[in-house]
Amino acid sequence: MRELLISAEKIIDCLNDGVYVCDRDRRIVFWSKAAERITGWRSEDVLGRACLEDILNHVDFVIITNIIWLRDQDSNLG
């Protein structure tokens, strides 16, 4: 299992898009090389920190809310 995780991290680090992963407590457990390049935050500076600690400007809640609203509007039409 550990080898699979290491392989996945290597693949993700080849992406140009910044990728990070949080655990259930919203603590950052993975920070890709592109995330470092895009944000200026080094992996060792963010790992273990809550992603809400002024590290990122979160839009995920807004996006999810909009998706739910659009889905509800679509179901009301049909």
Identify the residue whose tokens are 């809550």: 50
Tens-level pLDDT at each residue, the chain (78 residues): 778 777 888 888 888 888 888 888 889 999 999 999 988 999 999 999 987 777 776 655 556 666 667 777 776 665
Q: Which residues lie below 8 Å from residue 21, measured CB to CB, with a gap of 6+?
A: 28, 29, 30
Cα Rg, the chain, nearest whole Å? 16
H or E stretch at 22: strand 20-22
Q: Which residues pair with 56 in a beta bridge?
A: none
Predicted pLDDT of residue 7: 82
> Model-level pTM?
0.65
Predicted pLDDT of residue 71: 75
User: What domains are there in the chain, each with its CATH number?
Assistant: 2-77 (3.30.450.20)
